[in-house]
Amino acid sequence: MIKISELEKIYRTEEVETVALNKLSFEVKEGEFVAVMGPSGCGKSTLLNILGMLDDPDAGSFLFNGIEVAHFNERKRADLRKHNIGFVFQSFNLIDELTVFENVELPLIYTGVKAADRKKRVEAVLDKVQIMHRRNHYPQQLSGGQQQRVAVARAVVNNPKLILADEPTGNLDSSNGNEVMQMLTDLNEQGTTIIMVTHSEHDSRYSHRIIRMLDGQTVTENILV
Protein backbone atom coordinates (compact mmCIF):
# COMPACT_ATOMS: atom_id res chain seq x y z
CA MET A 1 0.00 0.00 0.00
CA ILE A 2 2.75 2.42 0.96
CA LYS A 3 6.22 2.34 -0.40
CA ILE A 4 8.70 5.06 0.44
CA SER A 5 12.24 5.15 -0.75
CA GLU A 6 15.12 7.51 -0.09
CA LEU A 7 12.73 9.99 1.48
CA GLU A 8 14.32 13.25 2.66
CA LYS A 9 13.01 16.20 4.61
CA ILE A 10 15.18 19.04 5.80
CA TYR A 11 13.95 21.97 7.91
CA ARG A 12 15.83 25.18 7.45
CA THR A 13 15.77 28.32 9.49
CA GLU A 14 18.14 31.22 9.04
CA GLU A 15 20.79 29.68 11.26
CA VAL A 16 20.04 26.00 11.60
CA GLU A 17 19.47 23.20 9.16
CA THR A 18 17.75 20.17 10.68
CA VAL A 19 17.61 16.89 8.83
CA ALA A 20 14.30 15.34 9.83
CA LEU A 21 14.29 12.42 7.39
CA ASN A 22 17.51 11.07 5.97
CA LYS A 23 17.00 8.79 2.96
CA LEU A 24 14.33 6.84 4.72
CA SER A 25 12.88 3.76 2.99
CA PHE A 26 10.30 1.19 4.03
CA GLU A 27 7.10 -0.44 2.90
CA VAL A 28 3.74 -0.99 4.54
CA LYS A 29 1.38 -3.62 3.16
CA GLU A 30 -2.36 -3.36 3.14
CA GLY A 31 -3.88 -4.60 6.40
CA GLU A 32 -0.71 -4.14 8.44
CA PHE A 33 -0.57 -2.47 11.87
CA VAL A 34 2.78 -0.74 12.14
CA ALA A 35 4.17 1.13 15.12
CA VAL A 36 6.86 3.77 14.63
CA MET A 37 9.05 4.41 17.66
CA GLY A 38 12.07 6.42 18.51
CA PRO A 39 13.27 9.27 20.73
CA SER A 40 11.98 12.85 20.43
CA GLY A 41 13.22 14.57 17.30
CA CYS A 42 14.02 11.40 15.40
CA GLY A 43 11.60 12.37 12.61
CA LYS A 44 8.58 10.24 13.54
CA SER A 45 6.06 13.03 13.28
CA THR A 46 7.58 14.37 10.08
CA LEU A 47 7.21 10.92 8.61
CA LEU A 48 3.61 10.71 9.70
CA ASN A 49 2.81 14.12 8.21
CA ILE A 50 4.29 13.11 4.89
CA LEU A 51 2.46 9.81 4.92
CA GLY A 52 -0.72 11.76 5.73
CA MET A 53 -0.02 14.10 2.84
CA LEU A 54 -0.12 17.11 5.12
CA ASP A 55 3.45 17.83 4.14
CA ASP A 56 5.64 16.99 1.16
CA PRO A 57 9.14 15.54 1.11
CA ASP A 58 12.18 17.39 -0.25
CA ALA A 59 13.43 14.33 -2.12
CA GLY A 60 12.69 10.68 -2.62
CA SER A 61 9.69 8.70 -3.68
CA PHE A 62 6.35 8.07 -1.97
CA LEU A 63 4.08 5.54 -3.67
CA PHE A 64 0.56 5.40 -2.31
CA ASN A 65 -1.32 2.44 -3.82
CA GLY A 66 1.19 2.52 -6.61
CA ILE A 67 0.74 6.22 -7.35
CA GLU A 68 3.65 8.61 -6.92
CA VAL A 69 2.37 11.38 -4.63
CA ALA A 70 5.63 13.01 -3.54
CA HIS A 71 5.09 15.99 -5.76
CA PHE A 72 1.34 16.33 -5.77
CA ASN A 73 0.09 19.88 -5.25
CA GLU A 74 -1.99 20.83 -2.24
CA ARG A 75 -5.34 20.31 -3.95
CA LYS A 76 -4.54 16.84 -5.26
CA ARG A 77 -3.15 15.85 -1.88
CA ALA A 78 -6.25 17.13 -0.07
CA ASP A 79 -8.39 15.14 -2.45
CA LEU A 80 -6.47 11.91 -2.01
CA ARG A 81 -6.32 12.47 1.75
CA LYS A 82 -9.99 12.97 2.35
CA HIS A 83 -10.94 9.74 0.61
CA ASN A 84 -8.20 7.47 1.95
CA ILE A 85 -6.73 8.62 5.23
CA GLY A 86 -8.03 9.14 8.77
CA PHE A 87 -6.09 10.88 11.52
CA VAL A 88 -5.97 10.36 15.27
CA PHE A 89 -3.93 12.90 17.21
CA GLN A 90 -2.40 12.90 20.67
CA SER A 91 -4.31 16.05 21.59
CA PHE A 92 -7.56 14.85 19.98
CA ASN A 93 -7.92 18.01 17.88
CA LEU A 94 -11.65 18.29 17.93
CA ILE A 95 -13.22 21.58 16.87
CA ASP A 96 -14.47 23.27 20.03
CA GLU A 97 -17.35 25.04 18.31
CA LEU A 98 -18.85 21.85 16.92
CA THR A 99 -20.71 19.13 18.77
CA VAL A 100 -19.60 15.51 18.89
CA PHE A 101 -21.95 14.66 16.06
CA GLU A 102 -20.83 17.58 13.94
CA ASN A 103 -17.14 16.85 14.50
CA VAL A 104 -17.57 13.30 13.28
CA GLU A 105 -19.73 14.47 10.40
CA LEU A 106 -17.05 16.84 9.08
CA PRO A 107 -15.08 14.41 6.83
CA LEU A 108 -18.33 13.28 5.24
CA ILE A 109 -19.25 16.86 4.46
CA TYR A 110 -15.94 17.41 2.74
CA THR A 111 -16.34 14.27 0.65
CA GLY A 112 -19.81 15.40 -0.37
CA VAL A 113 -21.95 12.72 1.29
CA LYS A 114 -25.67 13.57 1.37
CA ALA A 115 -27.19 14.71 4.67
CA ALA A 116 -29.46 11.70 5.29
CA ASP A 117 -26.65 9.31 4.52
CA ARG A 118 -24.31 11.28 6.77
CA LYS A 119 -26.68 10.98 9.70
CA LYS A 120 -26.85 7.24 9.35
CA ARG A 121 -23.14 6.76 9.07
CA VAL A 122 -22.25 9.13 11.91
CA GLU A 123 -24.75 7.47 14.22
CA ALA A 124 -23.43 4.06 13.31
CA VAL A 125 -19.87 4.98 14.08
CA LEU A 126 -20.78 6.85 17.28
CA ASP A 127 -22.61 3.75 18.37
CA LYS A 128 -19.56 1.68 17.66
CA VAL A 129 -17.31 3.83 19.85
CA GLN A 130 -20.06 4.00 22.48
CA ILE A 131 -20.40 7.78 22.58
CA MET A 132 -23.85 8.01 21.03
CA HIS A 133 -25.35 9.34 24.27
CA ARG A 134 -23.00 12.31 24.07
CA ARG A 135 -23.72 13.20 20.47
CA ASN A 136 -24.93 16.72 21.21
CA HIS A 137 -22.22 17.63 23.68
CA TYR A 138 -19.30 19.89 22.91
CA PRO A 139 -15.73 18.57 23.22
CA GLN A 140 -15.03 20.58 26.40
CA GLN A 141 -17.85 18.70 28.11
CA LEU A 142 -16.19 15.31 27.56
CA SER A 143 -13.38 13.50 29.35
CA GLY A 144 -10.09 12.90 27.53
CA GLY A 145 -10.98 9.28 26.80
CA GLN A 146 -14.33 10.26 25.40
CA GLN A 147 -12.75 12.94 23.27
CA GLN A 148 -10.27 10.47 21.81
CA ARG A 149 -13.11 8.04 21.06
CA VAL A 150 -14.82 10.82 19.15
CA ALA A 151 -11.55 11.50 17.33
CA VAL A 152 -11.29 7.83 16.39
CA ALA A 153 -14.90 7.87 15.23
CA ARG A 154 -14.10 10.88 13.07
CA ALA A 155 -11.04 9.14 11.65
CA VAL A 156 -12.97 6.04 10.60
CA VAL A 157 -16.34 7.49 9.57
CA ASN A 158 -15.21 7.79 5.97
CA ASN A 159 -13.99 4.16 5.89
CA PRO A 160 -10.40 5.17 5.14
CA LYS A 161 -7.93 2.58 3.93
CA LEU A 162 -5.25 4.01 6.19
CA ILE A 163 -5.36 5.43 9.71
CA LEU A 164 -2.46 7.48 10.95
CA ALA A 165 -2.29 7.77 14.71
CA ASP A 166 0.11 10.18 16.39
CA GLU A 167 0.60 9.00 20.00
CA PRO A 168 -3.12 8.33 20.36
CA THR A 169 -2.83 7.44 24.06
CA GLY A 170 -0.33 10.14 24.97
CA ASN A 171 -2.88 12.27 26.81
CA LEU A 172 -4.89 9.42 28.32
CA ASP A 173 -4.71 7.33 31.46
CA SER A 174 -4.01 3.65 31.04
CA SER A 175 -7.55 2.32 31.06
CA ASN A 176 -8.76 4.89 28.52
CA GLY A 177 -5.57 4.26 26.58
CA ASN A 178 -6.20 0.55 26.43
CA GLU A 179 -9.71 1.15 25.24
CA VAL A 180 -8.46 3.29 22.35
CA MET A 181 -5.79 0.73 21.46
CA GLN A 182 -8.43 -1.97 21.45
CA MET A 183 -10.52 0.11 19.06
CA LEU A 184 -7.57 0.49 16.69
CA THR A 185 -6.88 -3.24 16.86
CA ASP A 186 -10.50 -3.99 16.02
CA LEU A 187 -10.34 -1.63 13.04
CA ASN A 188 -7.16 -3.30 11.88
CA GLU A 189 -8.79 -6.70 12.13
CA GLN A 190 -11.54 -5.40 9.88
CA GLY A 191 -8.92 -4.61 7.26
CA THR A 192 -7.80 -1.02 7.90
CA THR A 193 -4.12 -0.35 7.63
CA ILE A 194 -2.77 1.49 10.67
CA ILE A 195 0.45 3.37 11.16
CA MET A 196 0.93 4.60 14.70
CA VAL A 197 3.67 6.77 16.17
CA THR A 198 4.18 6.07 19.86
CA HIS A 199 6.57 6.35 22.77
CA SER A 200 4.85 3.58 24.63
CA GLU A 201 6.33 0.07 24.46
CA HIS A 202 3.03 -1.13 25.85
CA ASP A 203 1.04 0.31 22.96
CA SER A 204 3.56 -0.88 20.40
CA ARG A 205 2.77 -4.44 21.37
CA TYR A 206 -0.65 -4.09 19.76
CA SER A 207 1.08 -3.76 16.36
CA HIS A 208 2.41 -6.36 13.98
CA ARG A 209 5.70 -4.66 13.36
CA ILE A 210 7.76 -1.94 15.01
CA ILE A 211 9.91 0.44 13.02
CA ARG A 212 12.50 2.11 15.24
CA MET A 213 13.90 5.40 14.08
CA LEU A 214 16.92 7.50 15.02
CA ASP A 215 18.10 10.72 13.36
CA GLY A 216 15.72 10.35 10.45
CA GLN A 217 16.65 6.80 9.62
CA THR A 218 15.25 3.39 10.49
CA VAL A 219 17.50 1.45 12.77
CA THR A 220 15.62 -1.80 13.29
CA GLU A 221 12.42 -3.42 12.31
CA ASN A 222 10.94 -5.95 14.75
CA ILE A 223 8.24 -8.25 13.58
CA LEU A 224 6.03 -9.14 16.51
CA VAL A 225 3.50 -11.53 15.10
Partner 1 sequence: MFRNYFKTAWRNIIKNKTYSFINILGLATGMAVAMIVALWIYDEVSANKNFKNYDTIYRLMMNQTFDGVRGSQQALPYPIGEELKNKFPDFKAVAMCDWGQNRSLIYGEKKISKFGHFISEDAVSMFSLNIIDGSKNPLHDPYSIVLTKETANILFGNENPIDKTVKLDNQTDLKVTAVVDKEPKNSSLSFDYLIPFQLQESIYPWIKQHHKTNWGNNSWQTFVQLYPDANPASVKTKISNVVISHLTDENILKHIKPELFIHPMSKWRLHSDFENGKNVGGFIKYVRMFGILGFIVLLIACINFMNLSTARSEKRAKEVGIRKAVGSGRRQLINQFLNESLLMASFAFLLALGMVALALPYFNKLTDKEMSLQVSNPIFWLIMILFTFVTGLLAGSYPAFYLSSFNPVRILKGNLNAGKKSSLPRKILVVIQFACSVILMIGTLIVYQQIQYGKNRPIGYNNKGLITVNWSDDIAKHFEALRQELLSSGAAISLCQSNSSPTEIDSNNDGWEWKGSQPVEKAVLFSTITTTYDYTKTLGIKMLAGRDFSRDFADSNSVILNESAVKRMGLQHPVGEVLKWRDRPMTIIGVIPDIQIESPYRSISPLTIIFDKYWVNNLDIRLNPVMSASKSLALMKPIFDKYNPAYPFEYHFADEEYAKKFNYEELVGNLAAIIAVLAIFISCLGLFGLASFTAEQRVKEIGVRKVLGASVFNLWRLLSKDFLILVLLSCAIAIPVGWYCMNEWLKNYDDKYRTNINVEVFVAVTLVAIVITLLTISFQAIKVAMSNPVKSLRAE
Shortest spacing between CB 35 and partner 1, in angstroms? 20
* Residue 91 or 130 having the CB closest to partner 1: 91
Q: If you compute the radius of gyration of the chain from its CA atoms, what whole number of angstroms results? A: 17
To partner 1, the closest distance from the beta carbon of 101 in angstroms equals 11
Return the number of the residue (49 or 210) whose C-beta is nearest partner 1: 49
Query: Least Å distance between CB 32 and partner 1?
Result: 22
Neighbours of 103 (CB within 10 A): 24
Judged by CB, which is closer to partner 1: 32, or 167?
167
Nearer to partner 1, 197 or 210 (CB): 197
Q: Name the H helices within the chain.
A: 44-51, 74-84, 100-110, 115-128, 144-156, 174-189, 201-204
If one counts every other C-beta atom within 10 angstroms of the C-beta of residue 164, the result is: 25
Cβ proximity to partner 1, 40 vs 175, nearer residue:
40
Residue 71: in which H helix or E strand, if any? none
Burial of residue 114 (number of CB atoms within 10 Å: 0-12, 13-18, 19+): exposed
Query: Is residue 131 a contact partner of residue 150, using CB atoms and an 8 Å limit?
Result: yes
Residues within the interface to partner 1 (CB under 8 A) = 45, 49, 52, 54-55, 74-75, 78-79, 81-83, 87, 89, 91, 93-98, 102, 105-107, 109-111, 154, 158
Cβ of residue 60: shortest distance to partner 1, in angstroms?
18
Shortest CB 187 distance to partner 1, Å: 17
